[in-house]
Amino acid sequence: MALLEVDQLQVHFPVKAGLFRRDHETVKAVDGVTFSLAAGETLGLVGESGCGKTTLGRAIMRLSDPTAGAIRLDGEDITRMTGNALRSRRRKFQMIFQDPFGSLNPRMTVEQIVGEALDIHPLAAGKAARQQRIAELLQAVGLDAAYARRYPHEFSGGQRQRIGIARALAVEPELIICDEPVSALDVSVQAQIINLLRDLQQQRGIAYLFIAHDLAVVEHISRRVMVMYLGKIVELAEAKSLIREPQHPYTQALISAVPEVDPDSKRQRIVLPGDVPSPIHPPSGCPFHPRCPVAVDRCRTEPPPLREIAPAHFAACHLAGNLQSQI
């Protein structure tokens, strides 16, 4: 049985303001997403800004309320849980946020930030045990235990993100949602954080949903990768299979935008026309068809299902399997 199962999840937000607002308009941030995540696995999630990646992660964390669908953790449906029932289940799943400074309370010391979860659940019997546990968590993420009495502003961006990781580890979770955890960091620091996450996974068997817009980073850490566009999953496959043989035109465009180290590379950049359509009024048929370089009439009227094109390789494209690579 999968650790995490997401079934036809929808997260819609009503439009409540604006001069031209119409009644019953909604932003379809996540629109019918289905996938599963095994224990100890890393599943990457990529897509352009505004495609719904972060909203999906927040919905799984129950920081945003789902409109429809189901979220099951260890076979237990947490979709409608609230209050103490949800709080007790949060020991199983935690989140690392994109902004390593904004996600830490500037008025709290590192000891208070990391130890807060130990107090809520409670996981440390007595002051000495609490301090020992905090010291162990800081050391696990590569920080000196003496840093416990310092404040977030006294640390670099990479150190702050390590504090955020220590906070997530405090309750010994089975799943961590990583919401672009390295995008705000320098390249050299990004590699350190990625390697830290991989080491922690090997030591503790944690599963990651790793959200990012950088396919190179996602390929490095993920076993499987999902590609999201306008609130929908358009491709899902093993990382190597998806990078080498993408079956959706949008995935091909994303891969073509990854910087090449080889100056003699013959990869051609695919420049998509226009902008991402509004999630309030998504296009009919395939949501990608207004920007797709190979769209046919069927794409404009019939939504493509997410179907298996090759073993463990799924794509939501009418032409998938017969699509000539554009990269």
Ordered structural domains, the chain, with CATH? 4-92+176-315 (3.40.50.300), 103-172 (no CATH)
Query: Residue 230: which region, alpha, beta or left (left: phi > 0; alpha: psi -120 to 50)?
Result: left
> Quick one: pLDDT at residue 263?
63
> Quick one: pLDDT at residue 261?
67
- Supply the DSSP string of 12-70, one letter for each residue: EEE----TT--TT-EEEEEEEEEEEE-TT-EEEEE--TTSSHHHHHHHHTTSS--SEEE
Token output for 258: 């990854």
Is the pTM for the entire model greater than 0.85? yes
Token output for 118: 């130990």
> Quick one: pLDDT at residue 25?
85
Task: Tell me the mean pLDDT per 10 residues along the chain, length 327.
Answer: 94 77 80 96 94 95 95 94 90 93 94 93 89 96 96 95 96 96 89 95 96 88 96 96 94 87 70 85 93 93 95 95 66
Q: Running DSSP on this structure, what letter comes out for residue 304? A: P
Token output for 291: 């920007």
> Quick one: pLDDT at residue 18?
60
How many helices and strands in the chain, by DSSP H and E?
Answer: 10, 12
Q: In what order do the strands lie in the sheet with 68-73?
A: 26-37, 4-14, 68-73, 76-77
Q: At what angle are helices 110-120 and 127-140 packed, to 10 degrees?
A: 120
> Quick one: pLDDT at residue 259?
77
Give the number of residues written for the chain.
Answer: 327
